[in-house]
Amino acid sequence: MKKNLIIAIRFTLITTLIFGLVYPLLVTVLSQWIFPNQANGSLVTKNGQVVGSLLIGQAFSGDKYFHPRPSAAGNGYDPTASGGSNLGPTNQTLVTRVQQDVAKLEKENPGAAIPADLVTTSGSGLDPDISPASADFQVTRVAKARGLSAEELRRIVAKHTQQRQYGIFGEARVNVLELNLDLDATAPVKPSGKATSYVATGSE
């Protein structure tokens, strides 16, 4: 009995040391060495300040910005409350919210087909990307707000359009934060002679 107890204690101590200390430290060191940007959250900085992550969606408002898909995470895009709404397709709350979003988008781009991801939330509520169709739907509004032609803006969108990984996995997508930052850098809006500065929330 005593011998078995000693073996059990030793095994517990050794496995705790290996899997609770050595392994996590090894993985952390390797990830910081091989994939430092990803290991630190794929953070994006502007003028020395962190303005977001390429992996986590955030709210953008105003006509000059491309808008992400809706979020049901907390009060919206809350990384501490990631998740979907869990509302079924017949739930009246969901139906009403989608109908309101559709009505708003129809006014923005009359007659155009509305991409599904512009009115539906992702499972995490933090999707940082939109489909190329959703980006194209917003081109007219953003181009007008920034004084660009639709063709010029589509070229910028194309630059930030990522195809399926290895041509197989996932779908084509556009990172909203990355695109909006590029627009602020290359086609800034200067109302009333005052330069526009980027705000981390993407709102004005």
Judge whether 199 lies within some domain. Answer: no
In a domain, 200, yes or no: no
Residues 108 and 9 in one domain: no
**Average pLDDT across the chain, whole number:** 85
Please indicate, yes or no, whether residues 46 and 11 belong to a single structural domain of this protein.
no
Is 184 inside any structural domain?
Answer: yes
* Total structural domains within the chain: 2
CB contact set of 98 (below 8 Å; sequence gap of 6+): 119, 120
In a shared domain, residues 7 and 87 = no
- pLDDT digit string, tens, across residues 90-140: 899 999 999 999 999 999 888 899 999 999 998 888 999 999 999 999 999
Rounded to whole angstroms, what are the CA distances from 172 to 39, 91, 132, 161, 163? 24, 30, 7, 7, 4
Same domain, residue pair 17 and 87: no
- Indicate whether 202 belongs to any domain: no
Residue 150 confidence (pLDDT)? 93
Residues 64, 13 within the same domain: no
Residues 27 and 80 in one domain: no
Cβ atoms 56, 40 nearer than 8 A: no
For residues 113-132, one letter each, b for 16 or more C-beta atoms within 10 angstroms of the residue's C-beta and e for the rest, the string is: ebbebbbbbbebbbbbbbbb
Q: Are residues 63 and 77 in the same domain?
A: yes
Mean pLDDT of 60-77: 90
pLDDT of amino acid 144: 93
- DSSP-assigned states of every residue in 25-62: HHHHHHHHHH-HHHHTT-EEEETTEEEEETTB-----S
Residue-wise pLDDT tens digits, 19-52: 999 898 888 887 778 877 667 677 777 777 877 7
74 and 105 in a common domain = yes
Find the mean pLDDT for residues 59-88. Answer: 88
Helices (H) and strands (E) in the chain, counts: 7, 5
The CA angle 57-121-133, to the nearest 5 degrees, is 80
Same domain, yes or no: 20 and 112:
no
Handedness of CA 142, 146, 148, 149 (dihedral sign): positive
Residues of the domain holding 34: 1-40
30-39, 175-184, 186-195: which has the highest mean pLDDT?
A: 175-184
Is residue 75 in some structural domain?
yes
* Greater pLDDT, 32 or 162: 162
Say what the pTM is.
Answer: 0.75
